[in-house]
Structure formats: structure tokens, C-alpha cells
Amino acid sequence: MMTGFYPRNMCAKLFALAIALIPLSVFASIAAADIEALKSAWPRTDFSKTTVDLAEIFSGGIPRDHIPAIDQPTIGTLAQGADAYDPREPVITVAVNGQIRGYPLTILVWHEIVNDRLGDVPITVTYCPLCSSAVVFDRRVGDRVLDFGVSGNLRFSDLVMYDRQTESWWQQFTGTGIVGEYAGTELAILPVRVEPFGVFAARNPNADVLLRPPGFPRNYGVNPYAGYDTGDSPLFPGIPEPEGIAPLAYVVAVENQAWSLELLKRKKRIETDDLVLTWQTGQLSVLDIAYIKEGRDIGYVTVQRKQDGGLVEVLHDMTFAFAFNAFRPDGTIHQ
């Protein structure tokens, strides 16, 4: 379906129609599945250990690894990145022990997980398109280094990852184990920025960047979720809706506080307590129309904390209001 040739509102309508035509049986709750069938499909997952209600976990209608994680990332120079990416395309900027790397969302929208090593630290870079959530983890747990894949399941429309070592299931939004041996374990989350490639390259002249991986039949540069972030509701059922704001409105989340992107666009800069949030134009949405380079400019946000006379990066995420509300039910959204 070549939604890139339709107006933006038509893209959203076509996306919604396509989802509506999928049989509801595809979106089956894990709790409704036969436990023996689950154990057969996941023989190393300890289903006696859970921290969430299994009824909240839905099959996404695809098997594990159908969305393939990148385990051998192809890393290139900024010059190679400039040839491959539009300067307005968003990248996740990660800095570890002085080494800086950019991970373009135009790749992650197709793969969702990159298992990598940066600054001699094993990391996992993740992006859930259905929540627009970009989170990077230190993938060490105790004396183990975990490798993550896409389980094919979702909770509150958010990616459920699994580790290949124990086949435990993990919530991407929080980095918490929810089923299996590591249920209740929390991965360390690294502070990152999501910013346009051009800004990333100008700020970090010695950085490198993830290049499009060879060997995958993916149409990089195309959004497989055309019209999603202008739709009316998330993809999967059973998600509590936030009050007073559209479920798919972008918000910038810092712990239990969030600010709507529309508020930040109006204010340009917000200072609250010791936090400083700024919004600037120049970044494309990867979840708008089919051809990402033709999509709308949603801008980008920097979140920093005042410390010792300067500013330091703060853990934050630009996600959808429904996701913040689902995973931070006691939180506040400022509009």
C-alpha cells in the first residue's frame, strides 16, 4: 500500500483501516493462550515468575525475531552517514566513556533493537515505534552480558524484549524484567538524546554512526507505520487513556513528570526546579507519512539539569501520552 502518495490524514485513515481488517484473534492476550503451548514456544522461560498480569501482554501477531535485532552493527564515519541520511532524520545519540555514536531511527523503526558495544560497555539500543520510545540500556546483569531480541509480544502497546540467555521477557519502556528468571530485575538506563543527524554530527565531530545493515530486505527510509502518529488511538486494546490529552500526542517524560510537545513548541524553553527543557525545529517524524523525508517537522527536545554551574544530560524520553500514562499512572502531564 503506497501511502506515501496520499495526504497525511488519508495515511492515518488507511493505517487505521488496515489494522481494523486484522482479525482480533491475532491480538490474543497471552493469558488466553494455553500455558503448555507457551512453554513449548518458550521452553527456557520460567512462567512461574512474573511481575505483571499476563492478561496485559498481547501477541503482536508475529513470532519472535520476525522483527530482527541487529547483532553485528555496521558502523561508519560521519561522512558516510551524511551520504546515507537526511540531516533532519532523528538519531539516538549515545555517549559512553567518551565514545559517541548515533543510531538513526530510520533503521530502528525496522529492527527495534541493536546489541552493540560502546566505550567498552555492552549496550542495547531500543526503539518501540508503537510507543515512540527510545531507550538505551547497559546490558550487563551481574556477571552476565545479555543479548536482546524482539519477542513478538507487547504490553500496553510497548515492545516486550527477551534475552537470549534465559528467555526472560523485559519491558522496553522501563527496562524491567516482567516474566522469567529475571522478573523484577532492572537494567541500567543510559541518558541519551534524540536529535537530527545534522545537529548530532555538528555537535560531535569525532562520533561515528550506525549504517544501514546489509543482508536485510528492508525498505529503509520508508515508515512501515504510515499515519500512525496522527491517528486517534494506539494499536492494541486494553490501554488506559490519559485524561485531557490525545493518546498519541507526543510528551517529553522525565520520571513522573511529562510536558506535552505542543506546550514546549509554544514556550520553546521551560525551566522548572533545576530542569531545563528546550524545543527546536528541524527534526522529522519517522511515524508520519510513508516516505520519512517528506514527513512533518516535529522538532526535537533537549532536557538538562542545572548542576555545579553547568548543565548535565537528564534521563528522558519523547513518547506518546498513552504510554506515559500506562507506565507512570501516578505521573502528571503538563499541557
For the chain, what are the domain ranges?
28-210, 228-334
| pLDDT at residue number 4 | 39
> How far out from the chain centre does Cα 111 lie?
11
CA distances from 242 to 56, 65, 148 (A): 17, 31, 30
| pLDDT at residue number 17 | 45
Query: How far is 102 from 5, CA to CA, in rounded Å?
Result: 30
| pLDDT at residue number 29 | 73
| pLDDT at residue number 28 | 66
| pLDDT at residue number 152 | 95
| pLDDT at residue number 36 | 80
Residues ≥6 apart with Cβ < 8 Å to 85 = 91, 104, 106, 197, 209
**pLDDT string in tens for the chain (335-residue length):** 333 334 455 555 444 444 444 444 445 677 666 778 788 889 999 999 999 999 899 988 889 999 999 999 999 999 999 999 999 999 999 999 999 999 999 999 999 999 999 999 999 999 999 999 999 999 999 999 999 999 999 999 999 999 999 999 999 999 999 999 999 999 999 999 999 999 999 999 999 999 999 989 899 999 999 999 999 989 877 798 999 999 999 999 999 999 999 999 999 999 999 999 999 999 999 999 999 999 999 999 999 999 988 999 999 999 999 999 999 999 999 99
Residue type, 145: V
Cell matching residue 160: 516486550
| pLDDT at residue number 21 | 43
| pLDDT at residue number 61 | 85
| pLDDT at residue number 43 | 94
CA distances from 31 to 23, 35, 49, 65, 167 (A): 18, 8, 14, 21, 18
| pLDDT at residue number 238 | 78
> Judging by beta carbons within 10 Å of its beta carbon (0-12, 13-18, 19+), is residue 321 exposed, middle or buried?
buried
Q: What is the pTM of this model?
A: 0.91
Q: In what order do the strands lie in the sheet with 269-272?
A: 269-272, 275-280, 300-307, 310-313
Query: How far is 109 from 248, CA to CA, in rounded Å?
Result: 17
Cell matching residue 162: 527477551
